[in-house]
Structure 1
Amino acid sequence: MEEQGVTQVASSSVSKEAAKPDTVITVPADPRIPAPESTSRDFVWEGAGERIEYTATAGYIDVRSDTGSLIGKMFSVAYVAKVEEDAEPSDASASDIRISQRPVTFCYNGGPGSSSVPINLGGIGPVRVKTDGTNHLSLPTTLEDNPYTVLRQSDLVFLDALGTGYSAIAEGVDPKTVWGIDGDADAFCRAIIGWLDANHRWGSPVYLFGESYGTIRNAVLMRLLGEKCVPVRGVVMLSALFDWVQVLPGEDLYFLGMLPTFAAAARYFGRAGTKVDEAKWFDDAMEFTEAVYAPALLRGDRLPAREKTAVAKKMSRLIGLPADLIERYNLRIDLDTFRRSLLADEGRVIGRLDMRFASAAPLPLQASTEFFAGEDAADDAVEPVWAAAFRAHLHSIGFAGAPIYLTQNYAVVNRSWKWDHEEPGIGESSPAPNVTYDIAVALKRNPTMRIAILGGRYDAATTYWNVVHDISCLFLPPELKERVEFKLYSCGHMAYVDEPTLEAMGKDMAEFYAK
């Protein structure tokens, strides 16, 4: 499973938690027992008349406490372009170490419990696995130069969270100290500082690129890095989730966020809006959500029966389910119900990460909500091939790691996750965090920073309406609102699976880095 491992019954963020071996990998606390040595190989990327020579390095970054004790070893794959050196120092005694000023972007997926394989070989790295629309991939496959890689604008460092991939927690360290919102961000902060120092990159503009739970990590990390005197130049939030309230069962924000995404899926499968442009249909659903649907939900059973029936009929025309079903559910259609119902007459269920994907429905006795949340054709279609291709890619770099690479480790990491968060300026820990406050604090402290929020119309794991709503509730002054840009694509959660979206995203990233 690629992303969002949150297990909430009615949540937009539940992920595949099917039976997996409980695996906690640790490394000895004794630093004399080494991890595998880092390895590097030189490669050439070519595309659209461009040519970039770069070095790929696979290896570990020590994550250490303020007193120097080992917290863990974070596995990374870095791609560093070879650029022309600056002129020789005029002072013969000057250090021969040149401080690169090329941007460097630290990239990761989420989960919690996912490695960075999807965003690397699926998304923005210099090589990728070619996808095939909404069809399942299979072996054999080959890696190709990614024509839209962010390596064109920035060096890239892909990081695996502790407990995923080859990243390991040091022996004697309690996993609870790093498996939580604050502990995880702290570990990434230390790893990023360690990489910058080891690679003499203090002159480089720093960017963060996180997907899904990686956007929660981004929000906290952009504040923490600033507090450690690491100025962040830009932050990319792909498929974002910021306010935890929206994933709690029964919360109206959950149902509001889902409706435009349901409308997009209904149109895609010909169950609604067939004569309307995709973008307009989604925009109309966004407007309906705020102008009609939200006021109706807020009134609860105080909504007159006649008005309830009228809203149900309007919803039916938008999301393609029967009005009587919608009315019976008190206008609150959860994700499982929609996924099971839209194509029930065809014996199929639709995806969660990307609602354009569909597969044969499970048996009636397989009614477990947790099981169904993980039965997602959008994930099954790509993840196994990505994982196999990544192992081959590491061999091409020359890295020999352990036999088991935890592409995902949700069964352990996610189920152990501490969701409490010390909200900045609030003075207390919140069990239902809203990390937009971290974003606002970081942006106010560093008003030169830019933020790009990227979303997909077909993403039911991290719905677009919610993230737009969350940022609007920060009431940023105009000069800071201008630092935040939104991009909406015709894709699902893993935007790069959709090649037209990957192309559009590549152009948007080129503009973002040029600002």
Structure 2
Amino acid sequence: MAEEHVAATPEKAAAASKTFTWRAGEQALQYDATAETVECLARDGAKLGDMFCLSFVVPRNPNAPRPVTFCYNGGPGSSSVPIDFGGFGPRILAESPDLAHLSTPWPVVDNPHTPLPVTDLVFMDALGTGYSTVEKGKEAEVWCVDGDAKAFAAGIAAWLTAHGRWGSPVYLMGESYGTVRNAVLVRMLQEQGVGVAGVVMVSALFDWSQTLPGNVLYYAGLLPTYAACAQWFGRAGQGEDPDEFFERACRWAGEQLAPALLLGDAVAPERERELAGQMAELVGVSEQWLLERHLRVELEDFRQELLRDEGKVVGRLDMRHWTWLDQPVQLNGDHIAAEDPADDATNSACVAAFRAFLQELGYEGPSVYLDNNYEKVNKDWKFAHQAPGVLDTGMAPNVAYDLATAMRRAPRMRVCLIGGRYDAATPWWNVEQTLANLYLPTELKANIEGHLYGCGHMAYYDADTNAAMGAMLRDWYQK
């Protein structure tokens, strides 16, 4: 390991950089890790905030510039720690057995599946999360769909300038709400003269209306994920291949369930009972329970119902996880939604690994690191967004139109979609349904790759998925 290099930044924690060696089998790669903040300036020069970045850069050949990928999580209100130390950075949490809850601290190892051999990586914290700060009075300006994308566009431009990387191919990698950000950001960067070579969408959601209560697409989209969960726990699909069972559930959701939900009480009682029987066979709960809900199954209801006879509730971000049901006095819907065993299993271990790495790097940030700031950022977030070419501002945005516009402008730009069967936060069925309704020309559709894995929302926490996904991404970058 080389000696430490420190550069002071006025009115900020000093940037810190060290050189490390990544090893995987017989492979070895030297890289520089740098923790710093960059200034985010609006187009008129007004300061929006300071964005914290942790970058991993391989010394490069000036005649063959390496790609650089800007990475972030979602929320809104999440820092970039999970996507970094969870799965894509050069160091990650060691593999956990059988979906176990990790103790803290948890061993950290060189990540054999990181895309670092083919692209430099810059992990960025959204303003108001992690060590990123918002200028006083600018919160409403940046805690919204368009303002957030503007802040990231400014942060990316500042990083490219500070590191002399304007000649490098630029990629974006976002997870969850980070995919909403990606869709708006890639269009916005184009409008500011920054071309994007490719976009990686991990656990994507583009049409926010599908999350609203009572939306038919919400119920239909969750059905295949419920089925995958029921199969995992032995309540449905016994003896069937998981991929084939999931695909069968996807077809049934689109061809049988969605049309019936659109008809509402115009569906004959006999037909509703027939559908309830078919649905019960797929999702592992009783026909009567489904009839009482007229086939409209809320996520928090299903999480508590599937294993109720065992006194358990299943996860949301990854429905393979479970924990014990709370007492009846605690069964507030918001509480159940927030109490997610899939998140509990990994979050503290991931944050501890990140903080320990910053200590090793010599970065002396504040003692408080907002790994998530949902109670402030998410609570105050404004979802209004005017899609390109659309006259009205939608309160529940569909940013797929932004993505389609960006793809038409840059017909060589590629998009990689990654999703998980057990992800109930951003169901795979909804992504496919949204993109199918863009009616993209064949030439542009060929630039979109979809990869479904046997994982949850944080795809990288699944060891088998991380290995397959890592190999896939290295190939994808080099196409």
Q: CA RMSD in A?
A: 1.2
Once the two structures are TM-superposed, the CA of residue 345 in structure 1 deviates from its matched residue by: 0.5
Alignment-derived partner of residue 220 in structure 2: 256
Counterpart check, 1:488 vs 2:452:
yes
Matching residue within 97, 106, 128 for 1:163 = 128
Counterpart check, 1:69 vs 2:19:
no
In structure 2, C-alpha distance between the alignment counterparts of 1:404 and 1:276, rounded to whole Å: 48
In structure 2, C-alpha distance between the alignment counterparts of 1:56 and 1:265, rounded to whole Å: 39
Matching residue within 366, 384, 395 for 2:359 = 395
Say whether the 8 Å CA contact 2:48–2:138 is kept in structure 1. no
Deviations 1:232-277 (CA, angstroms, capped at 9, x unpaired): 0000000001101110001100000000000000000000111111
Matching residue within 436, 441, 448 for 2:405 = 441
SS of residue in 2 equivalent to 1:217: helix
Matching residue within 383, 386, 394 for 1:419 = 383
Say whether the 8 Å CA contact 2:105–2:352 is kept in structure 1. no
Once the two structures are TM-superposed, the CA of residue 432 in structure 1 deviates from its matched residue by: 1.2
**Which letter maps to 2:324?**
A
Once the two structures are TM-superposed, the CA of residue 453 in structure 1 deviates from its matched residue by: 0.7
Matching residue within 227, 235, 238 for 1:271 = 235
Alignment-derived partner of residue 439 in structure 2: 475
Deviations 1:85-111 (CA, angstroms, capped at 9, x unpaired): 55xxxxxxxxxxxxx610000000000
Alignment-derived partner of residue 114 in structure 2: 149
Say whether the 8 Å CA contact 1:126–1:145 is kept in structure 2. yes
Bigger RCO (CA 8 Å, 6+ sep):
1
Alignment-derived partner of residue 44 in structure 1: 21
**Which letter maps to 1:508?**
M
Deviations 1:53-104 (CA, angstroms, capped at 9, x unpaired): 0000001000112343321100000000123455xxxxxxxxxxxxx61000
Counterpart check, 1:82 vs 2:46:
no
**Which letter maps to 1:46?**
R
Pairs aligned (count): 471
Which deviates more from structure 2 when the two are superposed, residues 495-504 or residues 420-429?
420-429
SS of residue in 2 equivalent to 1:232: coil
Counterpart check, 1:138 vs 2:115:
no
Alignment-derived partner of residue 112 in structure 1: 76
Matching residue within 204, 208, 213 for 1:244 = 208
Once the two structures are TM-superposed, the CA of residue 229 in structure 1 deviates from its matched residue by: 1.1
Which deviates more from structure 2 when the two are superposed, residues 266-275 or residues 139-148?
139-148
In structure 2, C-alpha distance between the alignment counterparts of 1:143 and 1:108, rounded to whole Å: 20
In structure 2, C-alpha distance between the alignment counterparts of 1:68 and 1:174, rounded to whole Å: 13
% identical equivalent positions: 47
Counterpart check, 1:58 vs 2:58:
no
Say whether the 8 Å CA contact 1:127–1:146 is kept in structure 2. yes
Alignment-derived partner of residue 217 in structure 1: 181
> Structure 2 matches for 1:379-394, cutoff 5 A?
379-394=343-358
> Structure 2 matches for 1:2-13, cutoff 5 A?
none
In structure 1, C-alpha distance between the alignment counterparts of 2:245 and 2:118, rounded to whole Å: 34
In structure 2, C-alpha distance between the alignment counterparts of 1:45 and 1:432, rounded to whole Å: 43
Say whether the 8 Å CA contact 1:268–1:356 is kept in structure 2. yes
SS of residue in 2 equivalent to 1:421: coil
Say whether the 8 Å CA contact 1:80–1:156 is kept in structure 2. yes
**Which letter maps to 2:108?**
L
Alignment-derived partner of residue 476 in structure 2: 512
Alignment-derived partner of residue 6 in structure 2: none
Counterpart check, 1:231 vs 2:211:
no
Say whether the 8 Å CA contact 1:114–1:408 is kept in structure 2. yes
**Which letter maps to 2:29?**
I
Deviations 1:337-369 (CA, angstroms, capped at 9, x unpaired): 110000001000000000000001111111211
In structure 2, C-alpha distance between the alignment counterparts of 1:389 and 1:511, rounded to whole Å: 28
Alignment-derived partner of residue 288 in structure 1: 252
Say whether the 8 Å CA contact 2:87–2:461 is kept in structure 1. yes
Once the two structures are TM-superposed, the CA of residue 298 in structure 1 deviates from its matched residue by: 1.4
Matching residue within 411, 416, 430 for 1:466 = 430
Alignment-derived partner of residue 374 in structure 1: 338
Once the two structures are TM-superposed, the CA of residue 141 in structure 1 deviates from its matched residue by: 2.0
SS of residue in 2 equivalent to 1:412: helix
Matching residue within 277, 288, 294 for 1:330 = 294
Say whether the 8 Å CA contact 1:58–1:76 is kept in structure 2. yes
In structure 2, C-alpha distance between the alignment counterparts of 1:109 and 1:418, rounded to whole Å: 18
Scaled by the length of structure 2, the TM-score of the pair is: 0.97
In structure 1, C-alpha distance between the alignment counterparts of 2:134 and 2:260, rounded to whole Å: 49
Say whether the 8 Å CA contact 1:52–1:82 is kept in structure 2. no
Once the two structures are TM-superposed, the CA of residue 139 in structure 1 deviates from its matched residue by: 2.3
SS of residue in 1 equivalent to 2:371: coil
In structure 2, C-alpha distance between the alignment counterparts of 1:250 and 1:388, rounded to whole Å: 39
Deviations 1:167-221 (CA, angstroms, capped at 9, x unpaired): 00123x3200000000000000011011111111111110000000000000000
Alignment-derived partner of residue 4 in structure 1: none
In structure 2, C-alpha distance between the alignment counterparts of 1:74 and 1:487, rounded to whole Å: 31
Say whether the 8 Å CA contact 2:42–2:150 is kept in structure 1. no
Alignment-derived partner of residue 146 in structure 2: 182
Deviations 1:374-399 (CA, angstroms, capped at 9, x unpaired): 11100000001111111101011110
Deviations 1:118-167 (CA, angstroms, capped at 9, x unpaired): 00000100000114131100023222100000111100000000000000
SS of residue in 1 equivalent to 2:28: strand
Matching residue within 420, 431, 434 for 1:456 = 420
> Structure 2 matches for 1:351-362, cutoff 5 A?
351-362=315-326
Matching residue within 290, 297, 306 for 2:261 = 297
Deviations 1:252-306 (CA, angstroms, capped at 9, x unpaired): 0000000000000000000011111111110100011111111211111111111
Say whether the 8 Å CA contact 1:134–1:357 is kept in structure 2. yes
Once the two structures are TM-superposed, the CA of residue 422 in structure 1 deviates from its matched residue by: 1.6
**Which letter maps to 1:347?**
G
Counterpart check, 1:365 vs 2:319:
no
In structure 2, C-alpha distance between the alignment counterparts of 1:69 and 1:177, rounded to whole Å: 12
Distance 1:166 1:129, change over 3 A: same
**Which letter maps to 1:458?**
Y
**Which letter maps to 2:170?**
V
**Which letter maps to 2:438?**
L
Matching residue within 274, 285, 288 for 1:310 = 274
Say whether the 8 Å CA contact 1:131–1:137 is kept in structure 2. no
Alignment-derived partner of residue 4 in structure 2: none
In structure 2, C-alpha distance between the alignment counterparts of 1:332 and 1:386, rounded to whole Å: 36
Alignment-derived partner of residue 343 in structure 1: 307
Say whether the 8 Å CA contact 1:113–1:413 is kept in structure 2. yes
Distance 1:131 1:382, change over 3 A: farther
In structure 2, C-alpha distance between the alignment counterparts of 1:453 and 1:260, rounded to whole Å: 18
